[in-house]
Structure 1
Amino acid sequence: MSKLITVFGATGNQGGSVIKHLLADSTLSKTFKIRGITRDVSKPAAQALAKQGVEMRTADLSDKSSVTEALQGSDTVFLVTNYWESAKYDVEFGQGKNVADAAKELGVQHLIFSSLLHVGKLTNGRLSHVPHFEAKADIEEYIRESGVPASFYLPGYFMSNFVQSVQKGEDGTLSFAFPVSKDAKFPLADTVEDTGKFVKAIIKNRDATLGKQILGAENYYTPEQIRSGLEAATGKKTIYTQLSAEQYKGFLPPSVAEEFLENHLFIEEPGYFNGADLKESHEILEDKLTTWKDFITKSGSF
């Protein structure tokens, strides 16, 4: 009899990638029946998953009873929360808490949570305005304290962010700018393609990954490597500019300017993954990850 895996954010970047790779895996597709959770099961993306045999359901993450109903019968759960849906720490934390509590009550055997590091704690309060990281870090801590068997997937810096960040000049020149030095290290990840590769490996290596953080990035890239990669792959002259904090904030809406600034300053020091090596996280993988060059070529956005 198949086990049930419930995937939150089923039509989003991370959840969608998880379902794609579960369906494509000859072993896991036989081991698990998939339940996808999304806000609107009538949307084309949800309907497409249903046609592939995914049981699509809606759930309100802010409603504990709704979450409990969605998790009924689940052996394994992949949880991704969306801070930007409300842009409120308390809302995101409450949603993660609801899933953890329901998972414990129902006896879920493996909760995989898409987490991030706690910027404020790791910088001793120097950077204290990055709630979209800290809500996830605090949910992770709550899950650990709850006793639910859990693994933690930490997505890297989205390669897709550069689709918006890179500007095209009238002469064809490409340019991008951040408030970090050319030597800062961005752990780049093709979230849509590669999240499922990591989560699939976590599921297959459940016992070895319980309680661990799996770092979801292909490699660390400096702005100079990002720039040179873009130039080599596109044949277009590419320029990187280091901005001051005030210059950078000046390009952003006031509501997110400080948060995005501190997010990038965290990449500079102590590092997006706090200087951690990616080797151990890569050792469990069965699939080749998408490189920055691969992403540039595939996306066609530059």
Structure 2
Amino acid sequence: MTASSRVASRIVSVLGATGFQGSAVVRALLKDRAFTPRAITRNPASETALKLKAEGAEVVQGDPLDKESLVAALRGSEAVYGVTVLMPPHQSRGRGFFVFPSSPSLAKISGGKYKNALACDHKNVVEEYLKASGIPNASLHPGTFLENFYRFGALKKTETGFDIAIPNYAPTSLSSFTWVRRDVPAVVLALLKNYHDPAKNTSGRSYPVVTAKMTYPELANLVGKALNAEVTFTSTPPIGVLHRDEMFACLSEHNGLFPETPVPNPDLVALGVEFSTLQEFLDEDLKPRFT
């Protein structure tokens, strides 16, 4: 089905549409059919962009670092999902809806102790700008990506099985984990379907998006059962990359940042989000890749 033949006319523009998170959101919108996804990309001729177009998404050229390009690409959108966009959309105050995947500021949380995890802090600057802008908005705070096990090699093969090696992380500290490609799109859809309702009070809020919460040794035990293998956890020394070392140290010190948020988040469940489970991730996503 092409974008022009879709029934929906409520356009949701997705920045970073050819990336890891953005493409998952585009595909969730296509599957749900309540909205028309507009995939905004610097290169509409890229392989991923062409694939999204073939699946039914509208693909538009736009550069988040070029204001005129971005304004043109967003024109006519009811809502925007912006992945690490550095410039909020230029639009009239009080119109549309902006969903931003953000992060708490680690510098603020730690009272200035951890001030070099700039990716988190810069996202938080955009989040605070959106809250003060008058644009209806909501920010998502995912935990550690479960997909990092295979995307960035967090689960490493050993002579006897596998090991999860995380720098600066105490084995007794909790961590928050998120199946990003499954649960983030579900939350985005729920927010898009509820933001018009003032009773839902979604605008200006930050929502932790957490699939599971536990210590790394507990996670290693469950991964081992799923893979029918010995899986260990190793808390390694700092790796020498300051922003990453500080990020893991802060996450460990503050128990994954969201220790008080129940799993699943009741505020998102109230909006109709049906969260996946860690076991579903292990069975459906991780196990086929490692067995």
Quickly name the TM-score band, shorter chain normalised.
0.7 to 0.9
- Aligned equivalent of 1:192, options 167, 172, 181: 181
CA deviations 1:113-161 (Å, max 9, x no partner) are: 1111000011111111100100100000111111111111122210011
- Aligned equivalent of 1:220, options 213, 217, 229: 213
Contact 2:14 2:37 in 1 (8 A): yes
The alignment status of 1:48 with 2:83, answered yes or no, reads: no
The alignment status of 1:248 with 2:265, answered yes or no, reads: no
The alignment status of 1:210 with 2:203, answered yes or no, reads: yes
- 2 CA distance for matches of 1:66 and 1:42? 17
- Residue 71 of structure 1 is matched in structure 2 by 74
- Aligned equivalent of 2:243, options 259, 264, 267: 259
Give the ranges of 4+ consecutive aligned residues of structure 1 lying more than 4 Å apart after TM superposition. Answer: none
Question: What is the aligned-residue identity percentage?
Answer: 25
- Residue 4 of structure 2 is matched in structure 1 by none
Q: How many Å apart are 1:42 and its aligned residue? A: 1.4
Contact 2:88 2:130 in 1 (8 A): no
- Residue 92 of structure 1 is matched in structure 2 by none
CA deviations 1:258-299 (Å, max 9, x no partner) are: 111111112122243343314334413545433333223223
- 2 CA distance for matches of 1:145 and 1:287? 27
Moved more, 35-44 or 59-68: 35-44
- 2 CA distance for matches of 1:138 and 1:170? 44
- 2 CA distance for matches of 1:285 and 1:18? 17
Contact 2:30 2:56 in 1 (8 A): no
- Aligned equivalent of 2:106, options 83, 104, 119: 119
Where do 1:79-118 residues align within 5 Å? 79-81=82-84, 95-96=85-86, 98-100=87-89, 102-104=90-92, 108-118=95-105
- Residue 13 of structure 2 is matched in structure 1 by 6
Q: How many residue pairs are counted as aligned between the two chains?
A: 272
> Normalization by structure 2: what TM-score?
0.86
- Secondary structure, in 3 states, of the residue corresponding to 2:91? helix
Could you say what the CA RMSD is over the residues aligned between the two structures, in angstroms? 1.9
- 1 CA distance for matches of 2:213 and 2:230? 22
The alignment status of 1:58 with 2:70, answered yes or no, reads: no
> Normalization by structure 1: what TM-score?
0.83
- 2 CA distance for matches of 1:268 and 1:189? 16
**Which structure features the higher share of helix residues?**
1
Contact 1:130 1:259 in 2 (8 A): yes
- Residue 229 of structure 1 is matched in structure 2 by 222
Unaligned runs of 5+ in 1: 82-94
Q: How many Å apart are 1:67 and its aligned residue? A: 1.0
CA deviations 1:154-202 (Å, max 9, x no partner) are: 222100112211211134x211222212222221111122211110111
Unaligned runs of 5+ in 2: 1-7
CA deviations 1:89-134 (Å, max 9, x no partner) are: xxxxxx53x324x1347x6421111111000011111111100100
- Aligned equivalent of 2:154, options 165, 172, 197: 165
Moved more, 225-234 or 37-46: 37-46
- 1 CA distance for matches of 2:141 and 2:258? 12
The one-letter code sitting in structure 1 at the alignment partner of 2:235 is Q
- Aligned equivalent of 2:275, options 289, 297, 301: 289
The one-letter code sitting in structure 2 at the alignment partner of 1:50 is K
- 2 CA distance for matches of 1:108 and 1:66? 20
The one-letter code sitting in structure 2 at the alignment partner of 1:215 is P
- 2 CA distance for matches of 1:275 and 1:199? 22
Q: How many Å apart are 1:240 and its aligned residue? A: 1.2
